[in-house]
Amino acid sequence: MRGMMMSENQTFTEKFDLLGCIQCGRCTGGCPVTARSNLNIRRFVYDAYHEEALEELARLAEIWDCTACHTCAVRCPKGLKPLEVLIGLRTMVIESGKTQPTVRDALESVFREGNPWEKARATRCDWMEGLEVKIAQPDTAVENLFFVCCTIAYDPRVQVIAKNLVRLLNAAGVDYGFIDDGESCCGSEVYTLGEDGLFEMIVEDNTEFLNEFQAARIVTLSPHCFTTYNRHYPDLNKPVIHYTQLLAELLDQGRLTWEGGLEKKIVFHDPCYLGKQGGIYDEPRRVLQEIKGAKLLEFGRARERSLCCEGGGGKMWVETESKKERLAETRIKDAKALGAEIVAVACPFCLLTLEDAVKSLGFEEEMRVAEIMELLGELGGGN
């Protein structure tokens, strides 16, 4: 069970800089998951200092409740990343082979097929059918290399993000290329689920694969890929941006216009992986402001205080047994109280979790959740 620590000749304490912690409790104070779980992240940082207690800590169910939203890291006055202690404990569970079957299957699928959804690699580009998509070739220079993300590629509900983006790029005359079915998972969820070894392998493979493309930059559709590439791929030879940054750029250059509008009250939900982890707050708002007739609202908990939807941190494969209200439901209730008719998101996981919450709260008649690209696609008469 101690393999992870010994292999790098580092103790658990050294690896996660546990002695740097001053036990101020800002991490637990801000942790959104405490609303529905017993998870006390400060306590874990404290207890993990005792190496002999690690195995016992790794057996606690609440280590799987963390959504890796990074609120604790954003709030830590010492610049530590308390959540990574939990990931380290998850690694111990994974290495001992005592993983939940759902997690095991997702990880195996990433290893075999390059996606966690147990879908065949060969069908990764099926979403492109009927669209004019420019495919990037490694030996041909292209300005924007698009990285789609497994969920957007395979989940029929969110494929619309990629489809509408292709239409927009074609219309705006952007120099771009999408990757063919050679694209593999960025490993975001592999990392947060604690599969250290597999993640290391993914980073090596993807770095080598992506570095071969002669592209000025990589543009990701999902904030999860965006943050993972920026945080965990030190040898990547090009910058990585999120598609909302590209859209904001195109707007500044006057290359995007829409004839239609949307007379709706829209509130933007900051995805944790884009905002708290990527520092991107203004670009998605900039895009939404361009929608004619739309009235932009703000959550009380916006930007770095945005409430996590619980979609990240591997939570698509691990259920918290808590019967308490899902954070996504809290979020949707907040949106309803604001009078929002549309909750706009810029992340496939936020879309799925928040849309589920709208359904389970029975608010379908009054409001909807939509990804920014979905809304732009509905404006019609694009340039």
Partner 1 sequence: MGNVLILAEHRQGAVRDITFEMLAAASGVARDLGGEVVVLLPGSGLDDLAAQIAAYGVKVLVVDDPLLANFNAEKYQLVLGAAIDAYKPSLVMVGHTAQGVDLAPALAVEKDLPFVADVIGLAVEGGVLKATRQLYSGKVNAQVAFKPAETCLVTVREAAFEALEPPGGGAVEKIECPLKEDIAYRQFVEYIEAEVGDVDITQSEILVAVGRGLREEKNMPLVEELAAVIKADLCGSRAAVDAGWLPHDRQVGTSGKTVKPKLYLAVGISGAFQHVAGMKGAKAVVAINKDPDAPIFNVAHYAIVDDLLKVVPKLTEKLKELKG
Give the integer Cα–Cα distance in Å for 141 and 177: 9
Q: In b/e form, how buried is each residue of 1-26, taking b as 16+ CB within 10 angstroms? A: eeebbeeeeeebbeebebeebeeeeb
Q: Which is nearer to partner 1, 2 or 324 (CB)?
A: 324
> Cβ(91)–Cβ(197) under 8 Å?
no
345 in helix, strand or coil? strand
Q: Where does this chain touch partner 1 (CB under 8 A) — which range of 90-98, 232-240, 352-360, 369-377?
A: 352-360
10 Å CB burial of residue 56 (0-12, 13-18, 19+) is exposed
- Of 62 and 283, CB closest to partner 1: 62
Site for partner 1 in 220-279 (CB under 8 A): none
Nearest distance in Å: CB 291, partner 1: 26
DSSP 234-279: TT-SS-EEEHHHHHHHHHHTT----S-B---EEEE---TTTTTTT-
8, 14, 118, 282: which one contacts partner 1 (CB under 8 A)? 118
Q: Closest separation between CB of residue 105 and partner 1, Å? A: 7
Contact status: 101 vs partner 1 (CB under 8 A) = yes
372 binds partner 1 (CB under 8 A): no
The amino acid sitting at 191 is: Y
Which residue, 118 or 204, has its beta carbon nearer to partner 1?
118
Q: Is 314 left (phi over 0), alpha (psi -120 to 50) or beta?
A: left
Interacting stretch for partner 1, rule CB under 8 A, among 38-46, 100-108, 205-213, 367-375? 100-108
Question: Does position 127 bind partner 1 by CB under 8 A?
Answer: no
Q: Which is nearer to partner 1, 154 or 299 (CB)?
A: 154
Q: How many helices (H) and strands (E) does the chain have?
A: 18, 8
Asked whether position 154 contacts partner 1 by CB under 8 A, the answer is yes
- CA 86 to centroid of chain Cα atoms: 18
Q: How far is the CB of 316 from partner 1 (least distance, A)?
A: 6
Q: Is 365 in the site for partner 1 (CB under 8 A)?
A: no
Closest distance of CB 321 from partner 1, Å: 6
Minimum gap (Å) between residue 309 Cβ and partner 1: 14
Find the largest Cα–Cα distance for the chain. Answer: 64
Q: Quick one: which segment of 148-156, 196-204, 286-294, 370-378 binds partner 1 (CB under 8 A)?
A: 148-156
| Residue selected from 62, 84, 113, 155 as contacting partner 1 according to rule CB under 8 A | 155
Per CB under 8 A, the list member of 2, 98, 157, 292 interacting with partner 1 is 157
The binding track of 58-97 with respect to partner 1, each residue x by CB under 8 A or -, is ----------------------------------------
The total number of residues written for the chain in this structure: 383
Alpha-carbon Rg for the chain, nearest whole angstrom, is 21
Is 156 a binding residue for partner 1 by CB under 8 A? The answer is yes
Q: How many other CB atoms sit within 10 Å of the CB of residue 137?
A: 12
The two structure tokens encoding residue 10:
């580092």
Residue among 111, 356, 378, 382 that touches partner 1 (CB under 8 A): 356
E strand segments, the chain:
142-147, 176-178, 215-220, 240-242, 265-268, 295-297, 342-345, 368-371
Q: Name the residue type at position 85.
A: V
Binding mask 295-334 for partner 1 (x = CB under 8 A): --------------------xxxxx-x-x--x--------
The site for partner 1 (CB under 8 A) is made up of 101-102, 105-106, 117-118, 154-157, 315-319, 321, 323, 326, 352, 356, 359-360
